Amino acid sequence: MLASRPAPPFPLARLAALAALAALATWPLAPAAAQQEIDADLAACENDPRFRVGGAAIGECLEMRRAVLDRQIGDLAESQARRFCASSDQADVRAAQQDWLSYRAAHCGLITRSPGNTVSYVSGTVCNLILARQRMAGLQLMQLYARPLCPAFELVNEASRPGEQTDE
């Protein structure tokens, strides 16, 4: 009769983190900088005592980090919308933000639901973080390079008639 040895301890949190890293490694648009940011997020979550209980806790920690980033994105998107003079331009910026939120929810939701276990949950949260950071970068580009033309003058018909200028 063979004696069975207990399996070496391997925390679920580490397993979930490795799964997230494996998902990130196969992500087609994950440059080295994005991977370094996710590595830093995972390390921070693993070192936080509140999230050491298991794999799903890493996902919850990543969700909290994403929520902070989402607030920053929302604030930046709204401040960018207010920079534009035309109400149609403001509406376009706000609509783009809503469209992006819908896209991210659908895209990362597929990852989270497939197959719907702890590993896919953590991978879905990684997806949310990557796309949130990409959105933040896009909004920062808008902040740097979009230069709305907002003239401070208006056309007054009474003052815009042909003839010689008078000081009336």
Tens-digit pLDDT profile for residues 64-107: 999 999 999 999 999 999 999 899 999 999 999 999 999 999 99
Cα 104 from chain centre? 8
Whether the pLDDT of residue 108 is over 50: the answer is yes
Cα-based distances in Å from 144 to 25, 80, 83, 139, 141? 31, 10, 12, 9, 5
DSSP for 84-113, please give it.
-SSHHHHHHHHHHHHHHHHHHHHHHHHHHH
Separation between Cα atoms, residue 81 and residue 146, nearest integer Å: 11
pTM, two decimals, is 0.71
Say how far residue 146 (Cα) sits from the centre of its chain: 20
Does the N-terminal peptide bond of residue 115 adopt cis geometry, omega within 30 degrees of 0?
yes
Letter for the amino acid at 25? A
Higher pLDDT, 81 or 58: 81
